[in-house]
Structure 1
Amino acid sequence: MTKALVVAGVMSGTSADGVDVAICRISPASVAGGTPRIKLLGHLGMAYPKNLRAAVLSAMDADAISVAELARLNWRLGEMYAEAVAKAQEKFGVKVNLVGCHGQTVYHQGASERYLGKATRATWQMGEAAVITEQLRIPVVSDFRPADLAAGGQGAPLVPMLDYCMFRSAKVSRVLLNLGGIANLTAIPAEAGVDRLMAFDTGPGNMVIDACMKRLYERDFDRGGAVARTGHVLQEVVEAILKEPYFSSLPPKSCGREQFGETFVSRFIAMCRKAGGSEDRDEDVVATATALTTASVLKAYQKFVWGHVGQAAPLSPVEFVIAGGGTKNALLIKMLTEELRPMGVKVRLMEELGIPAQAKEAVAFALLAWLSRNGLPGNIPAATGAQRAAVLGKVTHG
């Protein structure tokens, strides 16, 4: 029988800048056929120490790395997550019953590829759950994505379950956009059931912008979009990249550093240089990276989403609700707002719906842990492409 629990959701995204902990009280649906009730009690963000972030980024982009290095990193991340949950419990004065830990993705291949003679999918999120359980003496649900992959899905996106439970509306069609390292969206037409939900990764969110800032300015990110504001967008580069297969491939689909990591960034910068973004115009590269994120989100909306929510649009307005670290980039939000306004789409920030933008994904994994602990499915096949709804995650009891 399902029951209410206080759950800590732990999320570290593809930007690898740190960990977010969302402590939530999650209760069973109040009516038959309803969805769980979720109340955010508190959110804590902790930056990775510089050496830990460097190790994570190195593991993500390495062509070769020792097994010893990976094993140690897995253990060290577990310690980091345990510390973050402990601090969150202390800060908000609550005792957590369960932890849902996404872990740090170091590899994600949602589509099948031939490996050793067989079509194979693979994903790996690091962070040793046994360490978290031992240090906190709390059961941990971790490793959420493999169950969906095994059922034929992409293993992503998994946030749509939260989107459906918390943000569906009878009056408004909503597109919930998360601007993390990768940008992903969930489209829910007004009055839609879960079977009409659409969700997928649109392409790079902050990943390419951050990587360009690191290489060209030795900074981790473009604060507020300040550097991009001084640059000129090299539109031919944006248009050339948007012609690449990922952006036109049909959902469900997912991506990560495998598509938009260091190799892509090297090619992107070279394209910018060739198009006129000379070495004394680094700001043009950052401006173009920011425009690429904006344009890829807009292309995804126009090509795939408008026809989906548009069926409800004549009778209900469409809202774009934005969350994730990208909300701190004021220029990126401004560009998205200005491009969507002529389409009759209103842009809102996640805070307006009661969840801090940076906390949303952590809340999602708190919900997925609660569902798993109660033996309930956490994926939405319409979003991931899985053949069936599956109970996600592995439980470490301690």
Structure 2
Amino acid sequence: MAFAVGIMSGTSLDGVDAALVEIHGTNTDTTVQLMEFTTYPLSTEIVKKIKDVLSVETSSVDKICSLNVELGYVFSEAAKAVCEKADFALDQVDFVASHGQTIYHLPVPGSHQSASTFQIGESAIIAEETKTMVVSDFRTRDMAVNGQGAPIVPYSEFVLYRDAERTRLLQNIGGIGNVTIIPSGAQIEEIIAFDTGPGNMIIDELCQFFYQEAYDKNGEHASQGIVDQEMLSEMMAHPYIERKYPKTTGREDFGAEYTANLIGQWQNKVAPDDFIATATRFTAQSIAVNISPFIDQQTELIIGGGGSYNPTLVQMIKEQLPEISVLIQEEVGFSSEAKEAIAMTILANQTIHHLPSNVPSATGAMKPVILGKITYYH
């Protein structure tokens, strides 16, 4: 048994998720009990700094170097905050599992490039601040064996969600959408996982542009808009949507630059709420197109991540997939918010026990490998 804090800062930049868990066992015998969860807010200044290093126009080596350390302190505060919320002594934590902040993901390199990924948030700072061991940088080891380094959570999903009777499709909707397909009674080598395309990323950018709002709260703008079919058809023609798996994507495809181009092309033709409704349908339809080949009579689609709290988006997904059961994480006894932070603790637990936790059938890796790097505290 161990006590651990999982830390996740995703592409949506809506805060740092921190989960305090009690974890038992390894491999398929792993069990996890969520003790407490919090989302530690990111200051406006930090969000701006992250966005600056995400853009090739505004990024620089000195900005990345400094932000790497600064985020180490931010992640440390998130770990402290969840322990304080639980009234749990920080010195009782056995390890911290930190995903880091992805600033670039390049699974399909161009000429004169290498397949690569880069997460920042210095683990040495987290170890020193929390006075405990830190496991971090999970993606790069998978890429070292020709994997795409993503998706990163399928191993934890296999451990927690596999079912003898039903195929379960676990659709996370953060900034990007990703799905894990777990056939009924599956072995781990049968797991399939990949990014379906955009999640909340385009919707959030549009809400910021039109209304100076961080996101579409409760899907209200989308619910009042009408989907523009011409614009939707053009969005669905994006080559990523029909690409075969394994595949992974990010801000490079569907971030601020993509959204700015959409606005430039369609702003004079499409009203703001119609714009947001169309982007929301794009997320729903890209999910449906990508998961339809894996659906059978006993399939459950379980939605997690921030998008699960957008009822307009969830309803659009249900309309696209009327033949299956569509649920959100809470309806099956799990937390949508805490899911990825918990996943980090499962990966780190495997690392500490010298056990692999990538899923080659999902990432395209040549073999199972032990993920992550350990930073010891002394």
TM-score over 0.5 for the pair: yes
- Alignment partner, residue 123 of structure 1: 117
Cα distance change on mapping 1:139 and 1:256 into 2, 3 Å: same
Alignment of 1:19-168 (within 5 A): 19-29=16-26, 34-94=28-88, 95-115=92-112, 120-168=114-162
- Alignment partner, residue 209 of structure 1: 203
Contact 1:234–1:272 (CA under 8 A) maintained in structure 2: no
Contact 1:26–1:38 (CA under 8 A) maintained in structure 2: yes
Q: Write the letter of the residue equivalent to 1:81.
A: F
Counterparts of 2:204 and 2:179 in 1: how far apart (Å)? 20
SS in 1 for 2:214: coil
Write the deviation string for residues 60-88 of structure 1: whole angstroms up to 9, x where unpaired.
12324232221221111110110110111
Equivalent of residue 248 in structure 1, options 242, 246, 250: 242
Contact 1:77–1:127 (CA under 8 A) maintained in structure 2: yes
Counterparts of 1:125 and 1:333 in 2: how far apart (Å)? 30
Equivalent of residue 285 in structure 1, options 266, 275, 300: 275
SS in 2 for 1:113: coil
Question: Do structure 1's residue 15 and structure 2's residue 12 form an aligned pair?
Answer: yes
Contact 1:237–1:271 (CA under 8 A) maintained in structure 2: no
SS in 2 for 1:44: strand
Contact 1:40–1:355 (CA under 8 A) maintained in structure 2: no
Counterparts of 1:249 and 1:175 in 2: how far apart (Å)? 19
**Range 41-50 or range 57-66, more displaced:** 57-66
- Alignment partner, residue 184 of structure 1: 178
Alignment of 1:213-292 (within 5 A): 213-273=207-267, 276-277=269-270, 281-292=271-282
Alignment of 1:327-346 (within 5 A): 327-341=308-322, 344-346=323-325
Q: Write the letter of the residue equivalent to 1:335.
A: M
C-alpha deviation, 1:360, in angstroms? 0.3
SS in 2 for 1:356: coil
C-alpha deviation, 1:385, in angstroms? 0.5
Question: Do structure 1's residue 396 and structure 2's residue 364 form an aligned pair?
Answer: no
Aligned-CA RMSD value? 1.4
Contact 2:40–2:81 (CA under 8 A) maintained in structure 1: no
Counterparts of 1:44 and 1:296 in 2: how far apart (Å)? 30
Counterparts of 2:41 and 2:83 in 1: how far apart (Å)? 17
SS in 2 for 1:358: coil
Counterparts of 1:174 and 1:219 in 2: how far apart (Å)? 34
Cα distance change on mapping 1:34 and 1:266 into 2, 3 Å: closer
Q: Write the letter of the residue equivalent to 1:355.
A: F
Equivalent of residue 305 in structure 1, options 289, 294, 308: 294
C-alpha deviation, 1:180, in angstroms? 0.1
Counterparts of 1:63 and 1:371 in 2: how far apart (Å)? 38
Question: Do structure 1's residue 296 and structure 2's residue 277 form an aligned pair?
Answer: no
Counterparts of 1:50 and 1:328 in 2: how far apart (Å)? 23
Equivalent of residue 307 in structure 2, options 313, 326, 331: 326
C-alpha deviation, 1:38, in angstroms? 1.6
Q: Write the letter of the residue equivalent to 1:395.
A: I
Structure 1 gaps, min length 5: none
Contact 2:53–2:60 (CA under 8 A) maintained in structure 1: no
Equivalent of residue 386 in structure 1, options 350, 365, 369: 365
- Alignment partner, residue 351 of structure 2: 372
**TM-score for the superposition, normalised by structure 1:** 0.91
Counterparts of 2:181 and 2:265 in 1: how far apart (Å)? 33
Counterparts of 2:28 and 2:170 in 1: how far apart (Å)? 21
SS in 1 for 2:13: coil
Contact 1:61–1:257 (CA under 8 A) maintained in structure 2: no
- Alignment partner, residue 193 of structure 1: 187
Contact 1:157–1:254 (CA under 8 A) maintained in structure 2: yes
Q: Write the letter of the residue equivalent to 1:305.
A: F
Q: Write the letter of the residue equivalent to 2:301.
A: F
Question: Do structure 1's residue 349 and structure 2's residue 349 form an aligned pair?
Answer: no
SS in 1 for 2:367: coil
Q: Write the letter of the residue equivalent to 1:67.
A: V
Contact 1:10–1:362 (CA under 8 A) maintained in structure 2: yes
Percent same amino acid among aligned pairs? 36
SS in 2 for 1:14: coil
**TM-score for the superposition, normalised by structure 2:** 0.96
Q: Write the letter of the residue equivalent to 2:43.
A: P
